């Protein structure tokens, strides 16, 4: 089965390919000739995933799925949330985002946070949503060189390491995206 993942984020594509069964051929936006930036104008994570999936299905006619992820920090009333990728500005700088987050939490003893991923799947004229959530804490400084985004400052519950300090296989088992992708895979197999 061919399935388009509505993303050109090479890190996300690699993470998801790592989990998918071999009988599913994953295509990126680049693979289908989609080079435009799909606008993420919704005010929810679910809404942005739906917008991206619908864009590909309507404009290119492919079965596809799209995801959106947000980091929700309790002490910051759920911020950065839907604005996680551009928390420090439209340049979408991972380093700037982490610096802003760590600065915002500098004097906070409450470092609780959660990552939330929603996948919207458009398959054979129907839409299905899959959600993955992982709770954890924001560290006081960056640790690790793996992963991407906020991984160096997010320590999942039950682990004394950040997402940036563990392997791709471990992250797939523990992460928000990994959990949402597992639900997607279970659905595709059924």
**Distance, CA of 40 to CA of 150 (rounded, Å):** 19
The 3-state DSSP composition of the chain as helix, strand, coil percent (nearest 5) reads 40, 25, 35
CA pair distance 159, 155, nearest whole angstrom: 7
Q: What are phi and psi of 38, to 5 degrees?
A: -80, 125
The answer to whether 31 and 4 have CB atoms below 8 angstroms apart is yes
Residues with Cβ within 8 Å of residue 70, at least 6 apart in sequence: 45, 80, 81, 82, 83, 84, 115, 116
- Out of 68, 96, 107, 151, the active site residue is 68
Residue labelled with tokens 């990994």: 178
CB of 82 within 8 A of CB of 44? yes
CA distance linking residue 27 with residue 115, whole number of Å: 25
Q: Does the annotation mark 186 as catalytic?
A: no
Q: Which residues are catalytic?
A: 68
């Amino acid at each position: 089965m061919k399935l388009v993942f509505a993303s050109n984020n090479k890190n996300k594509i690699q993470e998801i390919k790592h989990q998918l069964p071999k009988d599913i051929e994953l295509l990126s936006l680049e693979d289908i000739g989609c080079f435009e930036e799909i606008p993420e104008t919704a005010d929810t994570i679910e809404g942005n995933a739906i917008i991206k999936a619908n864009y590909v299905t309507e404009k290119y006619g492919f079965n596809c799925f799209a995801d959106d992820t947000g980091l929700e920090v309790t002490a910051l009333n759920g911020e950065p949330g839907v604005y996680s990728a551009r928390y420090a500005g439209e340049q979408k700088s991972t380093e700037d985002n982490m610096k802003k987050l760590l600065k915002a939490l500098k004097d906070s003893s409450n470092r609780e946070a959660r990552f939330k991923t929603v996948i919207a799947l458009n398959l054979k004229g129907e839409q299905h949503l899959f959600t993955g959530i992982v709770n954890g804490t924001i560290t006081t400084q960056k640790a690790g060189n793996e992963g991407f985004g906020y991984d160096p400052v997010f320590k999942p519950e039950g682990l004394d390491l950040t997402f940036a300090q563990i392997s791709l296989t471990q992250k797939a088992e523990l992460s928000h995206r990994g959990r949402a992708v597992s639900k997607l895979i279970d659905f595709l197999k059924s």
